Amino acid sequence: MSPHESIAMKIAELETAILSAHPTLPTLLSQIHSNLKSDPDIVTLLDPAEVAVIVRGLEIQTKTTIASSIVKEGKGVDKKKLAQISLDDI
């Protein structure tokens, strides 16, 4: 099994652990971190969905959010609620 296949399997396990609030979440995150640290080239092979799973797992584990609000300053800028903001606004 290639390193990328191994990481892909761990990411799939992580997604399952996230959805079921399984206690293996910290262990899976640690294993993924170790594998990516030992072979950084694998990071370039991850697709955005896999990266999103890792980020979601880290947010749950650390009880943090990456971005909870967006503030734009200046004249004539519409202030939007967080629910109204799309990816185009970021």
What is the tens place of the pLDDT at every residue in 72-84?
Answer: 665 545 565 667 7
| pTM over the 0.75 mark | no
Place of tokens 């399984």: 22
How far apart (Å, rounded) are the C-alpha atoms in residues 81 and 69? Answer: 8
pLDDT at 90: 64
**Residue bearing the bigger pLDDT, 33 or 72:** 33
How far apart (Å, rounded) are the C-alpha atoms in residues 79 and 65? Answer: 21
Does residue 43 register a pLDDT over 60? Answer: yes
How far apart (Å, rounded) are the C-alpha atoms in residues 65 and 26? Answer: 17
How far apart (Å, rounded) are the C-alpha atoms in residues 57 and 60? Answer: 5
Nearest to 29 by CA among 55, 2, 67: 55
pLDDT bin (cut points 50, 70, 90) of residue 47 is: very high
